[in-house]
Every structure is written in C-alpha cells, then in structure tokens.
Structure 1
Amino acid sequence: MGQSVQLIRRPDTVDAVVARMRDLAATLPERDGVAVFNRVYLAVTEEVGRRLAAGRFADRRATTTLDVRFAERYLTAVDPAAEERRAPACWRPVLQSRRHPGVRPLQFALAGVNAHIGHDLALAVVDTCEALGCEPAGLEGDFERVGDLLVALEERVREDLMPGPDLLQIADPLTHLLGAWSLERARDAAWSAARALWALRRLPDVAEEFTQRLDAAVGFAGRMMLTPLPG
C-alpha cells in the first residue's frame, strides 16, 4: 500500500519527475512499450533539469511548472498503481499493445511521443496557466524552449531506435511511418489546442467535448502507428 501511495503522489519538481521515471523504469521489462518511451523521455527530462540548474531558461518557475505538469499527465496515464482507472484514449494503444511481439521499439517510442505531444502538452499548458495565473501568451517563450527539447526527444528516438541503413529499406513500412508524422506539426497543433481550450474555459461543456475529441483523434493516430509490422 505504501508503495502505491508513493507512485501516485503528484511531483512538484523536475527532480521528482525524474525520480518517478526512474522508479517506473526499474519495474518494467526492457522491451515493454512504455519502457521504450520512458527511456527516451527520461533522458530529455534529465536535460531539462540540467538546463534549469544552469539558468538556461528565462523564467525558471514557469518552465518548471510546465515541465512538471506535462510529465505528470504521462505518469498518471501509465502509473501501475492506477491500473483500475481508465487511461486517456491517446495512451490506450501503447498500454494495450505494449507487449506485442510484432510492434517494433521505434513504433512504441513514436506512439508515446504522439500521445504526449498531441494530447498532454495542450492540457499541460492550460494547467500551467491556471497554476501561475497567466495567459497562454505569457508562456509562449517557455513553450518554444521546451519545444526545442522535444525536437531533441524525437532525434534521440530516431538515433537510438532506428534500424541501420542496411535494414531500413524504402519498401519497409517503418520508412513510411517515419515520414507520415512530424513533431513540429504536432507541437504547433498542441499550441493551437491549448489556446482554444483556454478560450473555452468559461464554456466547460464545450471545452470537455473539445478535449475528448482531441484525445480520441490522437489515440486513433497512435493506434495506426502501432500496427504490427513484418520482420
């Protein structure tokens, strides 16, 4: 029981997020789909922590809050202590396919990035605005700086998990998967969604419907990404 309480406790610093990710990694088999995404996300979150410590962000509080609220949505979705709770639609494809032998590690990583950027990021921006009492425009600079690190996340995914050039041929379905999704476009869409949700905050029914449709659309894309591939 004590371990479950610790797992679901809300992190409030980047170091706490990193600790949660490391704890999660220690409980998962290396080939597990969540473990694959967690490894690359952990590396990027550690880099955020180093840059914060070095004073690389103009507004340390805003960047910390955005990073923590962003990571919290992922950790809540995949937390093994909350298995009885239905995960957001965007994360269900990864959770349901996480041990499928026909899904390659690169697919799990990209599907995780898709869920986290396409859905979680927009909601994290709104969470941060509410926590700090600011408008989305006040976070745009921090959003862009964190976004630059997300590009590093995608690059790390490709570097660590991409098959060698002799294995990835033009006819390989993985080649088409890599070309069909763009982190830059997903990040721009997340910013637009965050602004829309903020504008809709006084219309909670409409905001909820918008959020559900965003979640479902991102989940649908994730399910396509996780189609088992030959070889």
Structure 2
Amino acid sequence: MAQLEQIADEAPPGPGPAVETAPTSIADVIARMRDLGALCPEGDGVGAFNQVYLAVTEAIGGELDAGGFTDRAATSVLDVRFAERYLTAIGTAERGGPAPECWRPLLQFRRHPGVRPIQFALAGINAHIGHDLALAVVDTCRTLGCAPPDLEDEFERVGDLLVLLEERIREELMPGPDLLEVADPLTHLLTSWSLQRARDGAWSAAKVLWRLRAVPPLAEEFRQRTDAAVGLVGRFLLTPCR
C-alpha cells in the first residue's frame, strides 16, 4: 500500500476549498484541532464538538503507537482523511466560503444560547459520520489504490473508537438527571439519534460512491442528497431546549 505521506497529493472532492495545507499525519491533525480549540470562545458549539473529537483522535493516535491496528498505514490514512473533511469544512466557513450543508446548522447555531453543549457535539458527530466518513473512505481508497472492502477492518476499528466519542460526549456534556427530567424535549433529542445507524449508513454510502466513481455527475448528486439529509437531521438535533 502507499505510504502515509501520499495523502497530501490529493485534495478531497466536494464543496469549498481544501485546508491551506492538507494534514499529513495524526499528529498534524491533533495540532490543528488544538489550535482550533484555542480559538473557540467559551460556549461555542464548534468548540464543544472539537473538544471531544480531539480527545478521541488522541486516543486513536495512542492505539496506533501501541500497535492496536492491524494495518497501521491504512488506519492512519483513513483517520487523517476523515479529520481533514472536518477541518476543511470549518476552515472554509471561517474564510467565508460555503461549507457542506451537513455542517451549516452547527456553524449557524454555534453561539445560540438555547442550545446545549451536548446538542452541538452530537450535531457535529452527525455531520462528520453521516456525510464525511463515506467520502473519507473513498479518499483513502483512491490514495491507497484499494477498494472499500479492503478497508472494512480499519473502518470497523475506527468505528469502535467513534463509539467512545459518543460515550465521552454523553459523560462530559450530559445535563444532570434533575435537569434532564425537566427538559423533556432534550431527552427526546438525545435518544432519537443512533451512532450505529449512522455508521451503517456511512459504510453503505461509501460503497455506493465507489461504484459511482466512473459516473461523476451521479456520484455528486448522491453526495449532495446525502449532505442535505444529514444537514436536516442536524437542524433537529440543534432545536433550542432552554
């Protein structure tokens, strides 16, 4: 397989310009997330998501260093390509460009006083898994010269760590039980979204996009419709509950 350094050779397809220089390693991704977090003021919705995503990315880096993945190179490329999608979306919006629809609700409501941190974080996961993960799989396949089935083990292992991301969000950002009992709409929102279903959908979407790569207009139409659907779910997750 190709080496990790090759991932900078291709900018990811999709709306908006890529980040100025594509990240080339998990360490680079972690550094950029830390820089982004330092720029987010207290109460910022992007900062709420970035905080937990950074923690899980650090955990993935630790797993890689400890030999926890069978194919270290493939896992590294997939993780970096995945994170690059998020960094590109936020960077594009900060420069006044059009972010993917899936990220727009979080970007638009990031400072809304009626939205709780856990809602921001779950909206970020929804956008990142529902839209970005499938594209990251295709990006990785193009970089490594393989097909999605060749990455299934790495996808599942990264998916298991994403479960830790959701658990961390709920542990760190979940309101206390008394507050949850009063906030019935919040309780409903927090139980209506499933990470497992989002993972399954991302894997199916990756396989469809790979099959459609010879027909770019159809692949782009499929991506746009997925993007819009994920964005709609994000708006529901950000329903003000205060």
**Shorter-chain TM-score range:** over 0.9
| TM-score with structure 2 setting the length | 0.90
- Within a 5 Å distance, the mapping from 1:56-205 to structure 2 comes to 56-79=68-91, 82-169=94-181, 172-205=184-217
Superposition RMSD in Å = 1.2
1:39-86: CA deviations, max 9, x gaps?
Answer: 000000000000000011000010000000000000011127852210
1:29 paired with 2:41, answer: yes
After the TM superposition, which of the residue ranges 213-222 and 81-90 deviates more from structure 2?
81-90
Contact 2:90 2:99 (C-alpha < 8 Å) held by counterparts = yes
Q: Which aligned runs of 4 or more in structure 1 are off by greater than 3 angstroms?
A: none
Q: Distance in 2 between matches of 1:197 and 1:110?
A: 25
Identity of aligned residues (%): 68
Contact 1:76 1:82 in 2 (8 A): no
Counterpart contact for 2:100–2:227, Cα < 8 Å? yes
Q: Report deviation, 1:171.
A: 5.6
**Is the contact made by 2:92 and 2:98 (CA closer than 8 Å) also made in structure 1?**
no
SS at match of 1:42: helix
Question: How far apart are the structure 2 equivalents of 1:9 and 1:20?
Answer: 11
TM-score (norm 1): 0.94
> Partners of 1:37 and 1:122 in 2: how far apart?
20
Aligned residues: 224
2:168 is matched by which residue type in structure 1?
R
Matching residue of 2:30: 18
Q: Which residue of 1 is the match for residue 52 of structure 2?
A: 40
SS across alignment from 2:228 = helix
Matches of 1:12 and 1:110, distance apart in 2 = 27
